[in-house]
Amino acid sequence: MLKVRNLSKVFDKVQAVDDVSFEVNPGEIAVLLGPNGAGKSTTIKSIAGLLRFKGQILINNTDNKSVEAKRAFGYIPETPALYENLTVWEHLEFIARAYSLRDWEETANRLLTRFEMDDKKDKLGKELSKGMQQKVSICCALLIQPKMIMFDEPMIGLDPKAIKELKSVFLELKQAGCAVLISTHIIDSIEEVWDKVLIMNKGRIVLNLTRDELDNKGESLEKIFLEVTDS
């Protein structure tokens, strides 16, 4: 579903991402794990088409800048970027228009119910907590029924209950056959849910492990993480 080949990105003199390649398949939860500054956000923003880069990124077998690719993925940025003076419902309406969705209201209502926000439809962006803003951001991403979805550091600033909820969202997306890419620097936060972990350090993927490969190693992810990064 997602194929990243030889992705590199330089900012001024900083090599933020250095020759990164990986794939995420339908129904797979992949985690980009790395310390701050490892290049996770730059990788995700490149995939989302927000940055120029060197290399090739295919989403559903089309170039990530194509219209088809843009219709196929959702992106939840680290800081939810809601409009202060739009209501929750207006955010969904905005996405529906931008993507020329038809008959989207039923899906929107179903998502709001799923995220327990039926009573928040008329709340303005600025009236919502960080956790609520993230839920709106997720609803907006899911409204287009994406085949691939990316979350950048989704656990930051959430309480344990919200983190648990988020994990069940990841698993639902997996069940639905969506390819899921999650970036995080907190190892604990992603236990139980991932199928594949890509450990990033200084712009490179230093280790690509499936769950079976980790089990065969007989070591904790934390120990391996500390061995292959300098954090």
Contacting positions for Mg ion (CB under 5 A): 40-41
34 binds, among ligand ADP, Mg ion, none (CB under 5 to 8 A by kind): ligand ADP
Whose CB is nearest to Mg ion?
41
Cβ distance 9 to 32 under 8 Å?
no
Binding partner of residue 189 among Mg ion, ligand ADP, none, CB cut-off 5 to 8 Å per kind = none
Query: Where does 26-108 show beta strands of DSSP type E?
Result: 29-33, 54-59, 62-63, 73-76
User: Residue 42 or 60: which CB sits closer to ligand ADP?
Assistant: 42
Closest CA to 27 of 136, 149, 209, 199: 149
Sites of contact with ligand ADP (CB under 6 A)? 11-12, 14, 16, 34, 36-42
Select 156 or 193, whichever has its Cβ closest to ligand ADP.
156
Would you state the structure tokens that stand for residue 24, as one six-digit string? 């995420």
Give min distance, CB of 10 to ligand ADP, in A. Answer: 9
Nearest CA to 110 out of 156, 48, 172 is that of 172
- Give min distance, CB of 39 to ligand ADP, in A: 4
Are 33 and 224 in contact by the 8 Å Cβ rule? The answer is no
Judged by beta carbon distances under 5 to 8 A according to partner kind, the member of ligand ADP, Mg ion, none in contact with residue 26 is none
